[in-house]
Amino acid sequence: MVHSQPYLQAALLCEGVTTDSEGHHDIHNEFSQYTMGYSQPFTVLTIWRGGSEGDADWYREKSEIIAPDGRVVASGENGPFTLADSTYRQVNSLLLENIDFTHDGTYEVRVTLTDSHDNVITSASYPLTVV
């Protein structure tokens, strides 16, 4: 499949990411469900692939955790970074701390990519069950 704009290849939640000297990434304790009231820092890992068109000089990523009642309980940004064409890949990790998981339910992990002109290129949401 040929993409005309950058796209999110993968997004996941984990306890952390380490990278060795050769650029290999180790993902520590990936999860899709979380325990209410239990709070520890965790990481949002994203992998972006470049598109073949566009006039942006750079891109910025914003990640948010949204509670069932619509409150943003954590957010952060990565960037700026470049994705010149389809051969480019950008791996980002964002450490989030002190997240308010005080209510059970389905939270939302939202990842948004904007360009250097502040246009939204893509936005994706994933559920996170808190029990």
Is residue 18 in some structural domain?
A: yes
Is residue 1 in some structural domain?
A: no
Is residue 2 in some structural domain?
A: no
* Closest to 90 (Cα-Cα) out of 61, 67, 62: 61
Give the range of the structural domain holding residue 98, as residue numbers without chain letter. 7-130
Q: Look up residue 29 and give its two tokens.
A: 């304790």
**29-83: pLDDT as tens digits:** 766 555 555 566 788 999 999 876 666 689 999 999 999 999 999 999 999 999 8
Total-model pTM: 0.83
Give pLDDT, residue 112.
97
Higher pLDDT, 53 or 3: 3
How many domains does the chain divide into? Answer: 1
CATH classification at residue 12: 2.60.40.10
Q: Look up residue 108 and give its two tokens.
A: 């939302």
Is residue 91 in some structural domain?
A: yes
Whether cis (ω within 30° of 0) applies to the bond prior to 68 is no
